[in-house]
Amino acid sequence: MSTIIYSKSAGTNNAAIGKLETPIKMVIEHESDILTKKGGIRDWLFNVESSMRFGETIVGQNEFNVFAATPEGDAAPRDTLTETYRKFIEHIQFMKEFVITAEMMEDASYGVAADAKRRAENFTRAYYKTMHKICEYALSMGTAASGTFAGATLDLTAPDNLPLFSSAHKYGTDTATQSNFFYGDIFASGSTTRTPSTAAFEAALSELSVKLRNMKDENGEALGYTADTLILPGNRPAAEMIAKKVCGSEGALGNGYNDINLQFGNWNIVILPGWQTADDRVMIMSSEANKNLSGNMFFNRVPLSVSNWVDHHTGNYLWAGRCRFGVGFGSYKHILMAVDSASAVENATAL
């Protein structure tokens, strides 16, 4: 389904406009349909929801406790829910404009000039690229409290006002903390040469999965979610190769005993091309927890709205696009990051 809202400005009666207006509109909408079906980082890693407000507030509550045994005839023990946190995500406006010159319109004897078509296609691609890249940026910069994307300042904190990845996240009370940011020998064997090791990564992946499964809810109970998404930087080929081997091999790697690989079939691997790191890092996420806990959130306030008009000073044909959306994190308990380092990383804890 297309997410393009198209409107034509009044007073557009140039004959050349009539030849190009509908074809370019069709190109924009067609390109939107294609890109919507293909999906991307936003669709794979974020919860995408519509919004009708200035921003959206995510409110967290404690969970119900277990049912209590009750004598015959007695009233049921009453349990109460209390608000434990709230997170506000504000929508940001993004805009772009492109021009088709009068000469180009005059020289297009039929259909859409090749260059005009490419501009219309690239215009739509830029809209989807903006949404996917802001989501990629928000995750890759998750060790910071804020960041700047395309001139917009993004709030990258979890509801406890700490960065998405932190070793001191709060839960339940202000004194109870837990970590979703770790360091350790994830890919290396631990030797001085630090030769990449599939065995080291397999062991680390198992330990990280347990860390995520034991993440505490607001009552202090383990949430029990299973990690199923592995997120890797786009510039670490050795780490990417090891991760794909470990997650894609039916048998255990590095031994001749025909052991089964406990990681096989459990992971979806997502590479973030824009996540360029100086060391080997990984994120693991539970897609179920991401959905249930409102983890990675993308709120679509105004989809791409396209309008067109003629510049009477130049005769050029102008197209302008505008959209509004908000990106943020309603939880930290659905995802964690680990850094392959033999020494401490700031704000991280040992794996």
The 3-state secondary structure of the chain, one letter per residue: CCCCEEEECCCCCCHHHHHHHHHHHHHHHHHHHHHHHHCCHHHHHCEEEECCCCEEEEEEECCCCCCCCCCCCCCCCCCCCCEEEEEEEECEEEEEEEEECHHHHHHCCCCCCHHHHHHHHHHHHHHHHHHHHHHHHHHHCCCCCEEEECCEEEECECCCCCECCCCCEEECEEEEEECCEEEECCCECCCCCCCECHHHHHHHHHHHHHHHHCCECCCCCECCCCCCEEEEECCCHHHHHHHHHHHHCCECCCCCCCCECCCCCCCEEEEECCCCCCCCEEEEECHHHHHHCCCEEEEEEEEEEEEEEECCCCCCEEEEEEEEEEEEECCCCCEEEEEECCCCCCCCEEC
Rounded CA separation 163/155 (Å)? 9
Nearest-angstrom CA–CA distance, 252 and 238: 19
Cβ-contact 335, 179 below 8 angstroms? no
Cα 350 to Cα 98, 191, 193: the distances in Å are 50, 17, 20
**How far, in Å, are 19, 53, 114, 146 from residue 100 at the CA level?**
13, 34, 12, 38
Is the pLDDT higher at 65 or at 232?
232
d(CA 243, CA 255): 17
Query: Mean of the pLDDT values across residues 106-129?
Result: 69
First vs last C-alpha separation in the chain = 44
Q: How confident is the model at residue 2 (pLDDT cuts 50, 70, 90)?
A: very low
Q: Average pLDDT of the chain?
A: 82
Whether pTM > 0.85 for this model: the answer is: no
pLDDT in the model for residue 256: 57
Token code pair at residue 177: 């903390």
Higher pLDDT among residues 39 and 10, named by residue:
39
Give tens-digit pLDDT for 173-195: 767 899 999 999 898 755 555 66
pLDDT attached to residue 200 = 86
Model confidence at 263, pLDDT cuts 50, 70, 90, reads confident
Distance, CA of 58 to CA of 206 (rounded, Å): 31
Q: Which of 17-31, 181-195, 238-252, 281-295 is predicted with the least confidence, judged by mean pLDDT?
A: 17-31
pLDDT of residue 348: 93
Q: Within a 10 A sphere around the Cβ of 203, how many other Cβ atoms?
A: 15
**Structure confidence at residue 10 (pLDDT):** 47
Residue 213 phi/psi, 5-degree rounding, is -65, -35
Q: Is 2 within 8 Å of 302 (Cβ atoms)?
A: no
Could you report the per-residue pLDDT of 134-150, keeping only the tens digit for each? 999 999 999 999 999 99
Spatial separation of the C-alpha atoms in residues 3 and 52, rounded to whole Å = 15
* pLDDT at 299 exceeding the cut of 70: yes
Q: Are 121 and 98 spatial neighbours (Cβ–Cβ below 8 Å)? A: no
Instruction: Give 343 or 232, the one with higher predicted confidence.
Output: 232
Residues 6 or more apart whose Cβ sits within 8 Å of residue 199: 189, 253, 254
Q: Which domains does the chain have, with CATH numbers?
A: 5-59+89-350 (3.90.1690)
Report which listed range, 34-38, 130-134, 248-252, is most confident: 130-134
pLDDT score for 210: 96
Residue 117 pLDDT greater than 60, yes or no: yes
Above pLDDT 90, what percent of the chain? 40
Question: Would you state the structure tokens that stand for residue 112, as one six-digit string?
Answer: 């859409």
Residue pair 300/250 in contact by the 8 Å Cβ criterion: no
The pLDDT score that the predictor gives to residue 272 is 93
Number of Cα atoms under 13 Å in the Cβ half of residue 90: 8
pLDDT at 18 over 60: no
Q: Is pLDDT above 80 for 215?
A: yes
* pLDDT in the model for residue 1: 40
Q: Which range in 233-242, 262-271, 314-323 is most confidently predicted, on average pLDDT?
A: 233-242
Residues 81-115: pLDDT tens digits?
Answer: 666 677 889 999 999 888 877 777 666 544 455 56
Whole-number pLDDT of residue 81: 62
